Structure 1
Amino acid sequence: MSTTRRSLLLQAGLSMAALSLAGIGRARGAAPRTIRIGYQRYGTLIILKHTGTLEVELAKTGDRVAWSEFPAGPQMLQAMGAGAIDFGITGDAPPIFAQAASNRIVYIAAEPKAPYGEAIIVPKTSTIKDVAGLRGKTVALNRASNVHWLLLAALSKAGLTMADIKPVFLTPGSARPAFDSGRLDAWAIWDPYLSSVQTASDPRVIASAGDLVGNRQFFLADRHFADANPDLIRLLMAQVNRSDAWSEAHKDQVSQYLASDTGLPVPVVRKAVDRLTFGALPLTPDVVAEQQAIADAFLAQHLIPGRLTVQDAVWKLPA
């Protein structure tokens, strides 16, 4: 494990331990609770689901977990906003749109940056050499997802806006055949779909997160659930950190797990896993400022209806 990642995991452990020490006990004989967790077929929470440690710990308090799969972050947060799930993890953009829609969703913690886990790609034979070459071109992306922000930031750096391209809003499953058949000029996409298409056809990367965006993942919860069940949030995050530490040391096994879920070959998944980052970190002022910059950029493009303050959605442990 690198010194940087070891430091991040140590910070995460200390921050979650602080939450635990500040916690409120639960009365004996209280009715069992169920925490409803949304997950995707790739990333931190599905690894936690595979390990089974959360179920073991919840059983000690008589509580349970119910898992629900989602194709991407925007759909997950729509479900959370409707009260259908209590907890999940998404990239940086979905929480902005969710907060713009209601005050129900709160940030619990953040993962370290993963700058090479998303990219804008063009076919290997394309004449497009850089982002400036996307003017007037058809670009696929999943609306309100992390790559929505990547694309917006990349276009801005090239002196373009979304109005200068022809965006096509597609889920990864629909975008892949369109990209492979040549019906798209470019595709903004994340891992493991990115590693899959890179292995299959070696497309050209014209922009990755790199120095453009942080590409963080955020742990999010229903505000009402978190406020009513701070002990469950603490327990869950402790198991996330336990699972993350194990994942960092067992990437071969993690790749096997995720290959079985995604249906992708193990070498493809391992390429994506090597670009994953692990560890739950607190919402520091710098991280909140990153999210605020995204919100302000989306507002400037009229993608959200009004200005929002990200700090208002950062969860605070009840006194």
Structure 2
Amino acid sequence: MIRRFAAAALSLSALLALTGCGADSAADTAGSQDQVTLTIGDQAKTLQTIFAASDALKGAEYKVKWAEFEGAAPLYQAVQAGAADTSYSADLPALQALSGGVKFKNVAALKNDGKHTGIIVSKDSDVKSVKDLKGKKVVVSSAKGSIAEYLLANVLQQNGLSYSDVTVQYLLPTDAQAAFSSGKIEVWATFGVYQAVGLQQGGRLLVDGADGRISGYGFIGASEKALASPAKKAALGDFLERLGTALDWTSTHQDAYATAIEQRNGADPAIAKTLASAAYSKVLPITSEVNGTVQDVADLMHGIGVLDPNVDVTKSADASVLK
């Protein structure tokens, strides 16, 4: 049973109805009925777009189905329920899911510069610096334990404030986006496309996750059930290699990648270009350096009561899938 975690997410049945989880994607690899099928968890069509644009799944000897969600919390609920074989998120959502009892292992690390996560304020806000957040309500996307929440906690600490100096409200990204655009939210800690849209709608960036304000690490995780299947584990290893190839492609073909985001996600050209430049750029094996950096994230969030119980990051990883 997922503790706390399920309460933050939509019901699984509603999610499956909304997202078509498990339905065949146009990017599915063709093959016979006895092929291995990997159900890949995704957020906001990110991985699907990368693979469709780069064609990096061509020739794979297994079938891919996509499980699509708008945030990490419902994605991890799907992993727990067996509706997705893999997860895809920043470091803190993975830690929160592990703390909440979801049965999976981190199998590969992702890396970017942190600029995709930020705290934005409305154009009329009197907040000019992090210190001005004292006494403010901050909306965090999506559920408790998102990467946006770590950014908030870390920059508060860096500026001599405590987490209790702000009032936090959790909203799923699409709900927060609608509220921000209508002027109902003054301070919003968010990420990715939602950050880009908020800024396009007149929001002002207060601070982002660059320069070590977030770790920059994300994770691909795999359910313990999927890892117990030798065939699925082998397919997953190949998928991760192909993901590395696909991310290399996005780094060297940013204009083409931006066009793919525009076409597949309905983003306007400016937002698509922003997202293309902020994408994860590398797939890395799980190393002691990765685990140590992310353990620092876990320890900070545990210290303010957001991550409870704490997570042993090293024990929560399987380094055998991607060498």
User: Normalised by the shorter chain, which TM-score bucket?
Assistant: 0.7 to 0.9
Is 1:298–2:301 an aligned residue pair? yes
Q: TM-score, normalised by structure 2?
A: 0.81
Q: 2:305 & 2:218 partners in 1: Cα distance?
A: 24
1 CA distance for matches of 2:239 and 2:34? 18
- Cα distance change on mapping 1:50 and 1:70 into 2, 3 Å: farther
Distance 2:197 2:293 in 1: 29
Partner residue, 2:51:
48
In the TM superposition, 1:256-295 aligns within 5 A as: 256-295=259-298
Q: How does 1:192-203 map onto structure 2 within 5 Å?
A: 192-201=193-202, 203=203
Question: 1:24 — aligned with what?
Answer: none
SS of match in other structure, 2:185: coil
Distance 1:227 1:279 in 2: 26
Partner residue of 1:161?
Answer: 162
CA distance 1:170–1:37, change in 2 (3 Å): same
Inter-partner Cα distance in structure 1 for 2:307 and 2:81: 19
The alpha-carbon deviation at position 45 of structure 1 amounts to 4.6
Looking at structure 1, the residues matched to 173 and 261 of structure 2 have their Cα atoms a distance apart, in angstroms, of 17
Secondary structure at 1:111's aligned position in 2? Answer: strand
Partner of 1:104: 103
Q: Secondary structure at the match of 2:305?
A: coil
* Contact 2:180–2:198, Cα closer than 8 Å, also in 1: no
**Aligned-residue identity in percent:** 23
Deviates more, 1:161-170 or 1:285-294: 161-170
Counterparts of residues 124-139 of structure 1 (less than 5 Å): 124-139=123-138
* Matched position secondary structure for 2:128: coil
Query: What SS does the aligned partner of 1:57 have?
Result: coil
Aligned equivalent of 1:252: 255
C-alpha separation in 1, matches of 2:272 and 2:33? 42
Q: Which residue of 2 aligns with 1:231?
A: 234
Is 1:308 equivalent to 2:307 in the alignment?
A: no
- The answer for the alignment partner of 1:79 in structure 2 is 78
Larger % of helix: which? Answer: 1
- Whether 1:218 aligns to 2:219 is yes
Give the secondary-structure state (helix, strand or coil) at the position aligned to 2:284: coil
Alignment of 1:5-24 (within 5 A): none
Q: Is the 8 A contact 1:45 1:240 kept in 2?
A: no
Higher relative contact order (CA closer than 8 Å, sequence separation 6+):
1
Pairwise CA distance, 1:218: 1.2
Residue aligned with 1:264, SS = coil
Cα distance in 1 for residues equivalent to 2:109 and 2:59: 24
Q: Judge conservation of contact 1:223–1:315 (CA < 8 Å) in 2.
A: no
Find out whether 1:207 has 2:207 as its counterpart: yes
Counterpart-to-counterpart distance in 2, 1:30 and 1:199: 46
Unaligned runs of 5+ residues in structure 2 are 1-31
Q: Distance in 2 between matches of 1:227 and 1:48?
A: 26
| 2:69 partner amino acid | F
- Name 1:36's counterpart in structure 2: 39
Q: What is the Cα deviation at residue 57 of structure 1? A: 0.9
Shift of 1:177: 2.4
Q: Is the 8 A contact 1:81 1:98 kept in 2?
A: no
Query: Which has the higher Rg, Structure 1 or Structure 2?
Result: 1
Deviation beyond 3 Å, 4+ runs, structure 1: 42-46, 49-53
Go from structure 1 to structure 2 and tell me whether the alpha carbon gap of 1:175 and 1:253 turns closer, same or farther (over 3 Å shift): same
Preserved CA contact (<8 Å) 1:41 1:261 = no
Q: Give the 3-state SS of the residue equivalent to 1:56 in structure 2.
A: coil
Q: Provide the TM-score with structure 1 as the length reference.
A: 0.82
Contact 2:112 2:281 in 1 (8 A): no
Q: Deviations over 1:50-72 (max 9, x none)?
A: 545426312xxxx3211111001
For 1:66, the equivalent position in structure 2 comes to 65
Q: 1:49 to 1:40 in 2, by over 3 A?
A: farther
Structure 2 contact 43–70 (Cα < 8 Å) conserved = yes
- Counterparts of 1:165 and 1:196, CA distance in 2: 24
Unaligned runs of 5+ in 1: 1-28
Amino acid at match of 2:123: K
Change in 2 beyond 3 A, CA 1:215/1:316: closer
Does the C-alpha gap of structure 1 residues 307 and 198 become closer, same or farther in structure 2, counting only changes over 3 Å? Answer: closer
Structure 1 residue 115: deviation in Å?
A: 1.7
